[in-house]
Amino acid sequence: MSSDVVFQVRNVSKVFEMYSRPVHRLFQTLFAGHKRFYQEFRALNDISFDIRRGESVGIIGKNGAGKSTLLQILVGTLLPTTGSVHSTGRVAALLELGSGFNPEFTGRENVLMNAAVLGLSREQVMEKFEEIQAFADIGNFIDQPVKTYSSGMMVRLAFAVQIMVKPDILIVDEALAVGDAAFQRKCYARLDALLAQGMTLLLVTHDTETVKQKCNRVLFLKEGNLCYDGPAEEGVVEYMRYLFPQEEDHVQSSPNAAASGEERKTAGPEEKFVYELLDENLHKNKWGIGGGRFHKLALHGLEPPNLLRTPCRFTIELEASWDSSKVHELIQKESLENNIMVGIRIVDTRNIVLFGTNTFLENKRISPDLQHATVYFTIDFPMLKNGDLFLTFALSVGNMISHTHLVWDDLIIQLKSISPSISDGMVHFHTETTIVEGAK
């Protein structure tokens, strides 16, 4: 195994025996080799991959896809039916809520026990105990039995123990979802710090935005099979396409679209540069249920080839059409508002949303009966930090509370933000600073 590989997984399968009645387990023991009293459930099927030191890997898939089974095999709490797993380094895991805790022991006693399992001596644990207690922030409950804890308190203490031992590999299975917003922010900030120090992270979550923000690679499991292993952005798109399979699309290409459908950069009499995409070039990272499409995207106010010099006024032009009969069926089926939404979102390289809006938020309603519309979003950008930005846009039915995406084009355009900003942050605000010398 290579020195930078922390997990080597080869041809791992896991088959569970499913008994329809408890007594059949006894019969299987008594008559093993003569008759089978169970049905096989294949949770994992011939999975192979390597995880390298310092990687941040998201594991995604629907419930029952085999994600938790895979993690249990990786940490050694479950043995594979066939195949092998080799690992190096200290592995810390947050799997099922409260796993590894004795409910009868106090929080303090469980901290000592868990740290010992992770290879720390009592002296080493006591050196870190105040830091663990401060991070968990559960007050006097630290000396109460864990069975009296809420789910949020449980995950606070478990996470505090795992990260304070500074593991080489941290595995998290949906555990942070039960924490409050402030605690989640603190946890992710600590994860960022540990990742910067070279820790390897395996993260199982249904929150695809978190996957795009925190992970550089995705493993997508489908019915026990590894069907995607690659960059996080593309993996999330594959997953969303699986969750929202596109039905037959009857929406025709725009009569105004160029036959070639190629990217075009045009200049008009009053504007020096327009970045334009037509038809199929808009749909490289598309997902949604179908029944609608974008025909044209034009960006007004850029400098060639894709430079956004801020502060500036910038216009995004989107031409879209949809199948009105399908939209009305969807409205009736899912009790949606009789409204078409066109939306945009601009994010940075970590998928942090810089700006997003849509026609509903802008108090502009679009009737499904129109079947075709061109929307212009004109934005007064403040001075932005230099860096890469990405544009996402969507065509949906309903409102902000309840909606269904006909088509979502994910991160289709990359923009390069340029400005004289030296601020510490994405946005620069005009600031006047005054210093008064000496005591007042």
How many Å apart are CA 93 and CA 100, to the nearest integer?
10
Long-range contacts, 107-115 (Cβ 8 Å, 24+): 107/136, 107/138, 107/141, 107/142, 107/143, 107/144, 107/146, 107/149, 107/157, 108/142, 108/143, 110/146, 110/157, 110/161, 111/142, 111/157, 111/161, 114/158, 114/161, 114/162, 115/161, 115/165
pLDDT tens for residues 245-300?
A: 766 555 555 545 443 334 455 544 445 577 787 766 666 678 899 899 999 888 99
The domain 5-242 having CATH identifier 3.40.50.300: the answer here is yes
Q: What is the pLDDT of residue 345?
A: 93
Is there a shared CATH topology between the 5-242 domain and the 248-418 domain? no
Q: Is the pTM of this model over 0.75?
A: no
Q: DSSP label at 418?
A: E
Q: Is 167 helix (H, G, I), strand (E, B) or coil?
A: coil
Q: What is the mean pLDDT of residues 154-177?
A: 80
pLDDT tens for residues 131-157?
A: 888 888 888 899 999 889 887 888 888
How many Å apart are CA 230 and CA 218, to the nearest integer?
6
Q: What is the pLDDT of residue 258?
A: 40
Share of the chain above pLDDT 90, in %: 35
Share of the chain above pLDDT 70, in %: 88
| Domain residue ranges in the chain | 5-242, 248-418
- Indicate if the pLDDT at residue 331 is higher than 50: yes
Compute the CA torsion angle 175, 177, 182, 188 (nearest 10 deg): 60
The HSE-up count of residue 207 (CA atoms within 13 Å, CB side) is: 15
Length of the chain equals 440
Q: Classify 248-418 by CATH class.
A: mainly beta
How many Å apart are CA 39 and CA 16, to the nearest integer?
8
Q: DSSP label at 272?
A: S
- Indicate if the pLDDT at residue 180 is higher than 80: no
With cut-offs at 50, 70 and 90, classify the pLDDT of residue 221: very high
- Indicate if the pLDDT at residue 440 is higher than 70: no
- Indicate if the pLDDT at residue 26 is higher than 50: yes
1 vs 186 pLDDT, higher one: 186
Q: DSSP label at 252?
A: P
Supply φ then ψ for residue 178, to 5 degrees.
-90, -10
